[in-house]
Structure 1
């Protein structure tokens, strides 16, 4: 499916393809075992987001029908997992891993609560209020940025060695006014528009056709702060792109959980502003001394690669950070009620 639809492997939801391909690669053979009896966890490769996209967006099937087909797709895959392999029933699927790369999480599989509620989800959507996200068992991962202009170490180092002039105080391009009104972003994005309307050194606008990805990256690199207001959900790829371009991320999403929080102190490089306090955002950004801005960039220089998916995976990138998180979760699972020690 990913060969037929290249988008499924290269857009921000491409992690369901990436993890499968990476785990099958020779470079990470140390993570695989020869027999399932040796395994501590099982990866289930299902391209559900890609499958749903081809019906919902490409073929323009009605939403209900697209979800029905996607549900059937998952059920067929689970029939294979449960019918041909005896390992699911040992833990009721608790040691099985699924990637749900979009903001809708496992809800793209309508019957997920019946069949895979105990399983581990790799998802970019760390929304603490979402009923389908469980911080105890699930793992927040970065979205996929496949453009090497953002992710290649040499491209990143150029921004360190020859930093561009920072022409803009803050930067955002994306949806601001939505047809659903204030239901979208809880009205935050239109509110920010009102705050920035007279600020000549802030780019806060919708995407424009003449600004391609190279232009987008350049504008980010020329900005001191990159704004990340919530949309329908808290997560956004902009956060990771900001770190990749040495632009200090400004998070405005109260309920967000970040990737790899057990090992990263986000307060060392990012700003997080409560939604109710956003009226002070311009003053907060302008008042930060240049020394502090540069210190935060240096922190990002040390950790930026953990938000990238290198091809092939390398130590310290998002793939290996996720593997470390899985190992940590597995140790926690040993203390759960379904295990016994002898």
Structure 2
């Protein structure tokens, strides 16, 4: 099945009562900028209108899926993109991703610095087919690490969390360099 949408983002961009209560900028202003700048670009679907019955189908049809911050520096659409084979495009500078010490995210994502969001169209259209295919293959190799299997399987999210905890336990109680 072909992917006929080059870039995809559907999601809310409006502030809410929560924004007023906490005096917090929703999505660091990134979603609002995406909607203003890219909603009319040919081959892109960028909209604040969400149709839940077609949302996942549209992800399946997309090459790149924008994953801007929401209330936090990450949002669930990052994981949805991975599971549906759409290359996530991270647009938040300081985001911490799961299993960063064990996964090379550059193999299956694109990261665009916040200061370069206005260049997004040229950045994404300059990525050649070979790189796109390589990243799509990377998604096929990594999706299982983002999901929980029943029963747990080696390499799924549960075993990844257990490995991460074991790694942290190994360093607990160790005397720091220069200490007693």
The structural deviation recorded for 1:177 is 2.4
Pair 1:326–1:336, CA change in 2 (3 A): farther
- Residue equivalent to 2:41: 199
User: What is the aligned counterpart of 1:320 among 144, 151, 159?
Assistant: 159
Q: Distance in 1 between matches of 2:146 and 2:61?
A: 20
Number of the residue aligned with 1:234: 73
- What's the secondary structure of 2:13's corresponding residue? coil
Structure 1 residues without counterparts, runs of 5 or longer = 1-163, 338-342
Q: Kindly provide the CA deviation profile for residues 88-112 of structure 1, in whole angstroms up to 9, marking residues without a partner as x.
A: xxxxxxxxxxxxxxxxxxxxxxxxx
- Residue 237 of structure 1 deviates from its aligned partner by 1.2
CA RMSD of superposed structures (Å): 1.9
Tell me how far 1:321 sits from its aligned partner: 0.5
| Aligned 8 A contact 1:176 1:205 in 2 | no
**SS of match in other structure, 1:304:** helix
Q: How many residues align?
A: 172
Q: Superposed, which structure 2 residues align to 1:28-177 within 5 Å?
A: 164-177=1-14
| Aligned with residue 256 of structure 1, among 71, 95, 102 | 95
**CA displacement at 1:336 relative to structure 2:** 4.9
Corresponding residue SS for 1:191: helix
**Runs of 4 or more above 4 Å deviation:** none
Q: Are the equivalent residues in 1 in contact too, given 2:35–2:48 (CA < 8 A)?
A: no
Contact 2:90 2:111 in 1 (8 A): yes
Partner residue in 2 for 1:247: 86
Gaps of 5+ in 2: none
Q: Does 1:295 align with 2:134?
A: yes
Secondary structure of the equivalent of 2:31? helix
* 2:127 matches 1:278: no
Bigger radius of gyration:
1
- Decide which moves more: 178-187 or 224-233: 178-187
CA distance in 1: counterparts of 2:175 and 2:157, whole angstroms: 27
| Separation of aligned partners in 2, 1:317 and 1:228 | 22
Q: Is the 8 A contact 2:87 2:136 kept in 1?
A: yes
SS at match of 2:25: helix
